[in-house]
Every structure is written in structure tokens, then in C-alpha cells.
Amino acid sequence: MESIQSSLQKMMSGEKFLKQYEKMKHEIFTDPIINEFIGKNPQVSLEMLEKSLPKLDQYRKELNSCNNCPGLEKCSNLMQGYKPRLVIERNYVDIRFEICETKLKIDRQKQQQSLIKSLYIPKDILEARFENIDQREELRMAATAAALEFVMEADPGNHSMGLYLYGKFGVGKTYIMGAVANALADRGIETMLVYTPDFFREMKQSIGDGTLNQKLERVKNAGVLILDDIGAESLSSWIRDDVLGVILQYRMLEKLPTLFTSNFDYEELEEHLSYSERGGFEQLKAKRIMERIRHYTRPVYVDGSNRREQN
């Protein structure tokens, strides 16, 4: 039986193989990409190039793919998302791979998105950006300016001052907070956006499945916490005192900023928080919660046309 080595020698000495080899060699040596490398590296000899033909062929094909980038998902390179670079190793030309700009950009976006954690927040809010906010109405401009100022000064663990955006339904309070979260992600600051009514409803359900403390800890420790639409929830004394109160007390002590959106101003929210499901009002307990909100947030009124009616 003929050995593999012998079979290879016969194949490589065959006329068809030699023609294909010479064709590939001609294509490589006349390729502008390879000639550019040779021009920059005059120490490269013909012998080195001939020994490195497979690498040179791979390099020119992959670099051409990079120069006509089809996007990361359709990248045909051996190492998807990596750009080839020729290097000289002793008497041989080899390939090294470097992460390309397309992959860098996508990885950066994924990293930023991982800094934004959300509970029950719509996708369009998570993609909000300050540059997309309609600034034609003066009172919305004031709110946007306050939000931008917060983003620039935010320093979780050292500075606990937050924002309290309030105003009528649909004027863009939540969208502004989404823009805040994305701008903070650009700075590498973790943000959690929470739609308060659904979150409080889940906390009630968590008593039965034993996940209450785990979920409470997650929200308490967020670098920046945004409680969206506070005051829209069905409130109970337990939610007010043992969930909201615990969260705000912890964040106050740890100097972690909390931001709010609401249809209520401070006084209206205090009245809402004083309601007791047992009947009557618990004004003192509501005042304790509001003291933490008032002292650690800047109130900003948001006005303008209803964005939902425009869509």
C-alpha cells in the first residue's frame, strides 16, 4: 500500500497542482496588499515569501473581507471580528490577529447595555438618547438640562443627590430617565430602571417564593436607581414601610442616588403614601418616606404635549 507521504509527493509534482500553485503564487505576488507589505519590509526575501504563501494568501483574502466589511454576523474571517496583520517571525511571514473596530464597537455597546438593568421598562425607553428628546417646549428643556447636569455630576457612593421629575401623563418623564441611564452607561455607571407599580406587585408575590430579600438587595445596591411612575401603584403599609422605606434608607446611608418620575408633586405623593389599606391615614409614616425623597432629590416640573398622543 502506498504511503501518504508518497501520495502527497506525487500530487505535488503533478502538472495540475503545479499550475494551481504557480497561479496562486502569481496572484499573491501581484496583489497590491502584499506589495504594500513588501515595500514596508525590504528585509523580506523571496525565499521567505515562498515559504509563507499559505499565510499570505489567507492574509490578503481576510484583509479584503475587512476592507469590504459585511458586518460582524457575516464576517467570513477565520477569527470572526478580528483583523489580520502580517508579522515577520525569524525567516517566516506569519499572521497576528487584532480585534476590529466593528467588533470593538459592538462589544462596547454590549458592555454599556449590561450596565443598564431594567424591570418592566419598554425597549424604546432603554434606547433613549438626549439628542432625540424634543426640545421645542421650554419646560421640557429645563427638565432635560437638569437631567444632563445630574449625569455629569453623578458619583454613586460619594454623592447621593437625585432628581424628582413630575408632571402630567405622557410628557416624556420616563424617556428622559432612559436617556439618563444610557448617558450614565457611557460613563461606566450602572443604572437600574424600575417601573414602580409592577415592581411593588412582584415584591408582594416574592414573599411566597422566597426571593424577596434577593430582589430587594438587587434594587437597594444599584449604582443609580430610577423609580419610574411612583404614586401609580396600589399601595399598602408593608410596601411603603418595608420595601420603599428600606430601599431609600439604605441608599441614603450608602450615598447612592435615587431618581423618580411621578404624576404627583411632593405634597400629592405624601398624601398618596399616607393612605392605609386598613382605612384612615398614616401621615407620620408618609412624612418619614417623603423626608428621604425631599432631602435627596431635586424637584423638576416637566410639561409639554402628550408624546403618546403624537405617536
Each residue's pLDDT tens digit, 250-262: 999 999 999 999 9
Q: Tell me which residue of 255, 296, 253, 249 sits closest to 159, measured CA to CA.
A: 255
Confidence of residue 15 (pLDDT cuts 50, 70, 90): low
**Spatial contact of 234 and 242, defined as CB atoms under 8 Å apart:** no
Q: What percent of the chain has pLDDT over 90?
A: 38
Q: Which of 23-32, 85-94, 131-140 has the lowest mean pLDDT?
A: 131-140
What cell numbers appear for 162 in the block? 437625585
Quote the mean pLDDT of the chain. Answer: 85
Considering only residues 3 and 24, tell me which one the structure prediction assigns the higher pLDDT.
24
Which pLDDT score is estimated for 11?
Answer: 45
How large is the average pLDDT for residues 53-58? 85
Each residue's pLDDT tens digit, 151-190: 999 999 999 999 999 999 888 899 999 999 999 998 889 9
**Spatial contact of 220 and 250, defined as CB atoms under 8 Å apart:** yes
Q: Does the pLDDT value for residue 9 go beyond 50?
A: yes
CA dihedral for 75, 79, 81, 84, sign (positive or negative): negative
pTM for the full predicted model? 0.67
The 8-class DSSP code of residue 281 comes to B
Which pLDDT score is estimated for 276?
Answer: 72
What cell numbers appear for 235 in the block? 399601595
Domains of the chain: 19-103 (no CATH), 115-310 (3.40.50.300)
Which pLDDT score is estimated for 1?
Answer: 44
Confidence of residue 90 (pLDDT cuts 50, 70, 90): confident
What cell numbers appear for 22 in the block? 504557480
Which pLDDT score is estimated for 7?
Answer: 47
**Spatial contact of 263 and 231, defined as CB atoms under 8 Å apart:** yes
How much is the CA Rg of the chain, to the nearest whole Å?
A: 31
Q: Tell me which residue of 248, 256, 229, 126 sits closest to 185, measured CA to CA.
A: 126
Q: State how far the Cα of 182 lies from the Cα of 200, in Å rounded to an integer.
A: 24
Which pLDDT score is estimated for 26?
Answer: 81
Q: Tell me which residue of 194, 72, 147, 119 sits closest to 298, measured CA to CA.
A: 147
Q: State how far the Cα of 49 lies from the Cα of 59, in Å rounded to an integer.
A: 13
Name residue 261's beta-bridge partners: 165
Q: State how far the Cα of 257 lies from the Cα of 21, in Å rounded to an integer.
A: 67
Q: Tell me which residue of 285, 289, 208 sits closest to 247, measured CA to CA.
A: 289
Which pLDDT score is estimated for 159?
Answer: 92
